[in-house]
Amino acid sequence: MLRTVRAKFLGVAGFFVVCLTIGTGFSVIQSLGINGDLEAVSRYVTPVKDALSDVRARQLEQISLLDRYMRVLESDGAEASLLSGIEIEISAKQTQIGQAFRKAFTSAALGRAQASTHFDQGVLLNLDVRMREFADISSQFNIGVEKLLDPVRGGDILTAQRQENIVRGIHRNIVLNLRSEILRLERYVAETVEAVSEREDFLIQAEFIMMLVAGIVGLGLAYYLGVGVARTVADTTKAINSVQSGKLDTNLDFKGQGDFSALANAFNRMTRELRVRFRMRERFGKYVDPKVLSNLLAQETALETSQKRVMTVSVVNLTGFDWLAEHTEPEQLVDFLNDYLTAMTEPISGHSGIIDNFIGDRVMGFWGPPFCNEKAMPCMPVRQHWSRWPVLTPLKPNMPT
């Protein structure tokens, strides 16, 4: 379980990174498959189809030349001058057909070597072998044409006519087979392009769905963490305001063992200390010297432990105060006491002493650690400093006439 705020937000960030990695990996794999299909079609299958289409066109042109050759032969005889030119054209077509077959065979062989996943199954299985077979049949056609031309050169027209039927049969077989192969390859190309289009659509939809799911889950987690942090901040702010207004019994309770729980524990410790300090100030602030109170507040266990110390105590009484109080006006007596008590307290406080109490004209103070630094300023008895204290003379009472 994630316990710290940093770990929680890092967890959300990690979730987004994982989703991004998965989405990217999925897209890369699908893109590689699509690119492989398109590459197989464009670099290998389409060149084979185009080469076969070229072979078929040249075959049709060649049979047309052969028809023209036989018509000239039948009308003008073996001595006709046009026959030699037609033979040259027929030979050129044979060369073009051979080149086209070599191109088709090369593309099929490269496809089988480079894109074996496509050429080892389905329509493309043994495509290079079929190209070799077509080339062998075309060679038989060329041989048949030569067997037709040789009797013509010898003047044997009847043999040439019989050979023509054989050549036409071979040609018909070649053209039909080529047409069938071309149609198969065209269907494969169309099906591949359609499949690629469907995979692209699927990839777009899958990426959109993954992005949507990641966004919803991520925003949900972020919202959950944000609400938790906001609620914690609001509760903490409310508790601080309560303490500021004087409600020192305020506590925070965040369950768990994370950062918020540590914050609650620290806040609760603070309020406990504040309550202790407040009680100490409330109980002793009106009765003890500020130094004593500060010393108590500075020590957490001041009320629980005690120490035995050697102290110097001073008790000062004003001689004749009772008679003075009886024969002096109250206003004058108050002014006199204020001046007197001020004069008595200043030397005590000025020499690291502690005022213990005032009772009438009596002033009680003491010296000793920890209220004075024995090393920096030794705690001296009061009588050693008595010469510095002012000497007060009681007021003469107003005697009745």
- Give the span between the Cα atoms of 346 and 231, in whole angstroms: 54
Query: What's the confidence (pLDDT) of residue 339?
Result: 83
Q: Work out the average pLDDT over 128-137.
A: 89
* Contact criterion met (CB below 8 Å) for 366 and 291: no
For residues 261 and 216, the model is more confident at 216
Q: Which of 269-278, 322-331, 349-358, 390-399 shows the lowest per-residue confidence on average (mean pLDDT)?
A: 390-399
Q: Is the pLDDT of residue 151 over 80?
A: yes
For the whole model, what pTM was predicted?
A: 0.56
Quick one: pLDDT at residue 386? 42
- Stretch 67-71: mean pLDDT, rounded? 89
Q: What is the pLDDT of residue 391?
A: 41
Query: Would you say 33 and 200 are in contact if contact means Cβ atoms under 8 Å apart?
Result: no
- pLDDT reported for residue 92: 92
- CA 107, CA 113: separation in Å to the nearest integer? 10
Please indicate whether residue 354 or residue 294 has the higher confidence score (pLDDT). Answer: 354
Q: 204, 31 in Cβ contact below 8 A? A: no
pLDDT score recorded for residue 377: 47
* pLDDT at residue 176 in the model: 92
pLDDT at 194: 92
Beta strands in 106-265, from DSSP E residues, in sequence order: none
The pLDDT of residue 289: 59
Rounded to whole angstroms, how far apart are CA atoms 20 and 288?
69
Q: Is the pLDDT at 308 greater than 70, yes or no? A: yes
Q: Which 3-state string (H, E, C) describes 84-104?
A: HHHHHHHHHHHHHHHHHHHHH
Q: Is the pLDDT of residue 389 over 60?
A: no
Mean pLDDT over residues 5-13, rounded? 73
Residues 161-208 have pLDDT tens digits of 888 889 989 999 999 999 999 999 999 999 999 988 998 898 888 888
Backbone angles phi, psi at 365, to 5 degrees: -135, 165
pLDDT of 378 over the 90 cut: no
**Do 358 and 287 contact (CB within 8 A), yes or no?**
no
Instruction: Report the half-sphere exposure of 284 (CA within 13 A, side-chain side).
Output: 19
Cα-based distances in Å from 27 to 14, 20, 24, 203: 20, 10, 5, 7
Indicate if the pLDDT at residue 23 is higher than 90. Answer: no
393 pLDDT exceeds 50? no
Average pLDDT over residues 372-395: 47
pLDDT of residue 257: 56
Q: What is the pLDDT of residue 396?
A: 43
Best-predicted range by mean pLDDT (77-86, 95-104, 229-238, 247-256):
95-104
User: Are 322 and 361 within 8 A, CB to CB?
Assistant: no
> What is the number of other CB atoms lying within 10 angstroms of the CB of residue 262?
14
Q: What is the structure's pLDDT at 1?
A: 37
In this structure, the dihedral spanned by the alpha carbons of residues 238, 241, 245 and 246, taken in order and rounded to 10 degrees, is 80
Q: Both tokens of residue 381?
A: 């008895």
Using pLDDT thresholds of 50, 70 and 90, give the confidence band for residue 301: low
d(CA 297, CA 272): 13
* pLDDT value at 400 more than 80: no
Nearest to 380, CA basis, from 367, 362, 361, 371: 367
Burial of 181 (0-12, 13-18, 19+ CB in 10 A): buried
Tokens for 157?
A: 């027209």
d(CA 33, CA 25): 12
Question: What percentage of the chain exceeds 70 in pLDDT?
Answer: 82
Mean residue pLDDT of the chain comes to 79
Task: Name the helix (H) or strand (E) containing 312.
Answer: strand 312-316
How many CB atoms neighbour CB 164 within 10 A? 19
* Interaxial angle between packed helices 259-284 and 157-244, expressed in degrees from 0 to 180 and rounded to the nearest 10: 10
According to DSSP, the β-strands at 312-316 and 354-359 are: unpaired
pLDDT > 90 in the chain, percent = 13
* Confidence check: pLDDT of 119 > 50: yes
At residue 256 the predicted structure's pLDDT band, cuts being 50, 70 and 90, is: low
110 has a pLDDT exceeding 80: yes
Residues 6+ apart with CB under 8 A from 389: 343, 344, 347
Q: What is the pLDDT of residue 265?
A: 80
